Structure 1
Amino acid sequence: MIELAESTPAQGPKIVVIGGGSGQPVILKGLKSYQADLTAIITVADDGGSSGTLRDYLNIIPPGDIRNVIAVLADVSSDLIDLFQYRFKKEDEMLAGHALGNLIIAAIAEKKQDIYGGVQQLCQLMQVDGHVYPVAKEPLVLHARFKDGSELSGEAEITAAHNAIDRIWVTPQADSANQVAQAPTAVVDAILAADEIVLGPGSLYTSILPNLVVPNVAAAMKMTRAKVTYIANIMTQKGETDGYSEADHVRVINEHLGAQVVDAVLMNTGVVPEDYIDWHRWNEVSHQVRFDPDQVRKEGAVPILGDFLALRENGAFHDGDLVAKLIMQIAGTPADDAGGE
């Protein structure tokens, strides 16, 4: 049984947040204000934008999601963080669209000839409060099989297809010496040692699952005694998850891992006002995710309900502070106290 505790252990729980995209930093920012041992595990299958360009030219893991997590967890001046996050203007020719932090990550990776070690060194320089681990030491290729039987490779192309996905998997790039995707030992160790593992929020098929389907990550997720909390998305993703409920998201995660791994689901009860969303700006979202706590229970998870909605910039987001508070309360319950309400 999962119950919300009033306090957490004095030394702070070990919390691992797995994902990518814009949702992961929101949750980490909220968690940063608590006493906790934080680890972020980040997808390396992104191949669009500045990250995709640097990935192609320099054959490194995409730096964008890593940059955003480092910026949130860094304990340096706001001026330095603003500089780290600065994105060159579109008229800046070859630098157009690149964030300075992406270039710094690329430079430190080249200098050390090791992207994983470079990220760890940069975390030290930025005085990161926690651990930042790319899920692999090399860029991975995301593959999708759609429900119509067709297949595509590449995160950007899969997202742009707006097609209903049946299954995804990842592989190393064609020029890799490895035949199977593999996470570093530190990633597996963090999952096995965690008190709580948080999935999301983020795109189900392109931010969360690309981490979980790495074979040794999948194995660790099935072995860990950590409580696994899924932060249900507020909006569906156009084409990919149209009509999905929170339970459908949980079912897909469990099916990809081959076991019921999700213990609790944070489910938003707030309603997005009609005509609030700027559909041109947020062109990947479709409709509000269907609310169905009974089906979540049937997937073996405890529904935890609350109004987690934060409306800003004509978009629907999670209230990171409120979600972080609940994550900490879940982490404070005994590890073997799961399975019901």
Structure 2
Amino acid sequence: MKTYRIRKPKIVVIGGGTGLPVILKGLRNESAEITAIVTVADDGGSSGSLRESVKVSPPGDLRNVLAALSDMPKLYEDLFQYRFNKEDEFLANHSVGNLIIAALAEMRGSTYEAIQLLSRIMHVDGHVYPASESSLVLHAVFEDGSKASGESKIAIDRKTIDYVYVTNSDNDEQPRAARKVITAIEEADMIVLGPGSLYTSILPNLMIEEIGKAVANSQGEVVYICNIMTQKGETEHFTDANHIQVLNKHLNSDFVNTVLVNTEKVPEGYMDPDIYDEYLVQVKHDFQGLRDAGCRVISADFLELRDGGVFHDGDKVVDELFRLVFGAKY
């Protein structure tokens, strides 16, 4: 592994959902050149509604990443992240940031351009790129041969997923990576996958053929941050090794170098099922299976409990990432 002493290490983080901003906030406080590559396959909630009505790429995950990397005052961030009440008729459940991204995308004719402009306005420390400049549709093929289309529909029937793939939402062309995405991956010292939903936050990015090939062929360290909990309709009964097996199957390559695994136990009955109803039980460990896949395993207490939910402790994870990227012994 390379050692970097003079320049900032280039770290690319790929994913979506609520886990990605946790890691980005920790990275922002360290000396690194950060690039976030964010999924554009979300079709639920405010993002899904705007995607259909304004014909804009789903803005929700991009909004959260911008906020995580921005140094704007707390009041501005709170306003950007503010979500209207469900009683507010046509504004119900929309966040201000989603509306701003949609407006700028319409003004500039491009979500990509809107995100670059907002990055400057919000003093974002790093680069934020949608995985593709077109909205994508995520498709799942289940082990029984049936299919489902749309990120929000895949987990409904709780069938075992065989594989997923993506298509453009507005044409039949092959999905392409957004500008600068491939260059960022090729120049990265480290590529971080997750934390986030395996099938609906991480794989939609890697299923863009250009991105998948670039990650699999990367000379940088590829790190997977394994989820702490299994997810209903996605990773039920999964071990940490099962996550890696799915990633390797989709890219037809044993491309993950290092896996970060939480070993701290979640207290029984801690999670609030009314808020976090998609999470089931803690992911089981299969360290031999991880090693058989060619992975270095870093197991530690990465757990943060707050607000009735289970999260990764961003500071602890980032500490490990920097030990890796600087080649420290541990």
Instruction: Give me the TM-score of the superposition, normalised by structure 2.
Output: 0.97
Partner of 1:42: 38
Partner of 2:148: 152
Partner of 1:228: 222
Matches within 5 A, 1:73-92: 73-92=69-88
For 1:24, give the aligned amino acid. Answer: L
Q: Distance in 1 between matches of 2:162 and 2:92?
A: 36
Partner of 2:301: 307
Q: Distance in 1 between matches of 2:232 and 2:199?
A: 12
Q: Per-residue CA shift, 1:135-194, capped at 9, x if unaligned?
A: 000100000011222100000111333222110000001x32x51111023111111000
Partner of 2:255: 261
Question: Match for 2:177 among 168, 172, 183?
Answer: 183
Q: Distance in 2 between matches of 1:280 and 1:75?
A: 32
Percentage identity across aligned positions?
A: 50
Partner of 2:68: 72
Matches within 5 A, 1:119-130: 119-130=115-126
Q: Describe the SS at the equivalent of 2:294.
A: coil
For CA contacts below 8 A with separation 6 or more, give which structure has more relative contact order: 1
Partner of 2:18: 22
Q: Distance in 2 between matches of 1:239 and 1:120?
A: 35
Choose 35-44 or 9-18, whichever is displaced more.
Answer: 9-18
Q: Distance in 2 between matches of 1:133 and 1:9?
A: 27
Choose 46-55 or 185-194, whichever is displaced more.
Answer: 185-194
For 2:125, give the aligned amino acid. Answer: D
Partner of 2:287: 293
For 2:295, give the aligned amino acid. Answer: A
Shift of 1:212: 0.5
Long gaps (5+) in structure 1: none
- Aligned pair 1:13/2:9, yes or no? yes
Q: Distance in 1 between matches of 2:112 and 2:237?
A: 38
Q: Per-residue CA shift, 1:9-47, capped at 9, x if unaligned?
A: 342100000000000000001111100000000000000
Q: Per-residue CA shift, 1:240-270, capped at 9, x if unaligned?
A: 2111111110110011011111000001110
Q: Distance in 1 between matches of 2:209 and 2:130?
A: 15
Contact 2:223 2:260 in 1 (8 A): yes
**Number of residues of Structure 1 aligned to a counterpart in Structure 2:** 330
For 1:127, give the aligned amino acid. Answer: H
Long gaps (5+) in structure 2: none
Q: Describe the SS at the equivalent of 2:304.
A: strand
Question: Match for 2:264 among 262, 265, 270?
Answer: 270
Instruction: Give me the TM-score of the superposition, normalised by structure 1.
Output: 0.94
Q: Per-residue CA shift, 1:52-104, capped at 9, x if unaligned?
A: 00000111110000000000101211111111111111121111100000000
Moved over 6 A (4+): none
Q: Per-residue CA shift, 1:277-327, capped at 9, x if unaligned?
A: 222321111111011211100011100010101111222111011001111
For 1:193, give the aligned amino acid. Answer: E
